[in-house]
Chain A
Amino acid sequence: MKTTSLRSSLQLAVALSATALTAHAASQSFDFKDPKGVNNVQFKLDAPLESITGTGTGISGTVSFDRAAPESVSGRLVLDTASLTVGNPLMGEHLRGANWLDVAKYPAIVFEAVKIAHVRTQGAQVVGDVTGRLTVKGVTKDVTVPVTFTLLADKLGARLGNDKLKGDLLVLRANFEINRNDYDLMAGQVTDKVAEIIHLSLSIAGAAPRA
């Protein structure tokens, strides 16, 4: 009787461990440091003469994603504010200056994913509304962003030009808006010259190497 009970317990423990290991193995951690210079976030603010548009390329961070269980997604993405550029040099100075992003004091914009809702699969893509904490200029607000996840299995070698390198890629795409007043970006000021809504478009690819 005792032997049977002990065996059952051991079997249960082995089964639980195997389940835990499988779950761990299925969820991959993707590193978004980009050796190809492709990852980018583009921003646009309406203005009377022409829209103010620019790009940020200094993106890093990791996202944990499981194609079979996308609701478990988590991660943290960081944008180096000094990497933000616009075409007009004076505008660039203003953008990085103390009144706007103050890059000397706030060198990073951070998004930390907390949960995902309305997850659905559209062909090879997984789409969901990711809620997270967005920190800009030291101000943290909860935002919900519609994100498209595309898992490119076994494409890491092809991306880096090394067929021996095994691993997957995860492409994230998101288009969303924030209000600059929420992040102390000249809050309530120059609204006749620069719109309050900032349109953001994120397109990034992360890599998860396999041993």
Chain B
Amino acid sequence: MKTTSRLTLTLRATAVAALLAALGLWLATGAHFGWTQTSRVIQKHDELTGIDYPVREPGFVAGVEVLLSGGALAVALGGASVLTHRRRSVAA
């Protein structure tokens, strides 16, 4: 009976965690289909002049590159786990 090494399991778990973390962060900050933003724009209105004006406030909005980075990290860790699993199998 083949057993999966602790390293392989750790790599797989980390891959899933990275993917979920990136996805969770992206969803939690508004599922923004653009680039990451480190400030949010809030539109305000000046009653007297009638001017609409944007006010920038600090705020993190994860963009698609966060999602892609999480995916890429998950694929890399998943690939590494496959390699470690094969080596162990060959050695056995």
Known pairs A159-B49, A171-B49; A88 contacts B54 (CB<8 A): no
Query: Does chain A have a CB within 8 A of B29?
Result: no
Q: Of all chain A residues, which has the CB nearest B34?
A: A50
Is A190's beta carbon under 8 Å from chain B? Answer: no
Chain A nearest CB from B46 CB (Å) reads 5
Q: Which residue in B33, B39, B51 is a CB contact (below 8 Å) of A171?
A: B51
Question: Using a CB-CB cutoff of 8 Å, which residues 10-65 of chain B contact chain A?
Answer: 33-41, 46, 48-56, 61, 63-64
Q: Chain B contacts of A42 at CB under 8 A?
A: 54
B48 touches A159 (CB 8 A): yes
Complex formed: what's the CA distance from A89 to B35 in Å? 10
Interface size counted on chain A using CB atoms at 8 A = 24
State the Cβ distance, B48 to closest chain A Cβ, in Å: 5
**Given the complex of chains A and B, what is the CA–CA distance between A49 and B67 in angstroms?**
14
Q: Which of A33-41, A60-68, A97-105 contacts B (4 or more CB under 8 A)?
A: A33-41
Residues of B within 8 A of A205 (CB): 46, 49, 51
Nearest CB of A to B26, in Å: 14
| Chain A residues near B36 (CB-CB < 8 A) | 88
Q: Which of A40, A55, A152, A203 contacts B48 (CB 8 A)?
A: A152
Q: Which residues of B contact A36 (CB under 8 A)?
A: 46
Of chain A, the residue at the smallest CB distance from B39 is A87
A91 in contact with B35 given A55-B41, A85-B56 (CB within 8 Å)? yes
Given contacts A38-B46, A50-B34, contact A203 B52 (CB under 8 A): yes
Confirm or deny: A127 has a beta carbon within 8 angstroms of a beta carbon on chain B: no
Given A40-B54, A49-B64, A203-B53: A85 and B39 interface contact (C-beta under 8 Å): yes
Residues of A within 8 A of B (CB): 36-40, 42, 49-50, 55, 85, 87-89, 91, 150, 152, 155, 158-159, 169, 171, 203-205
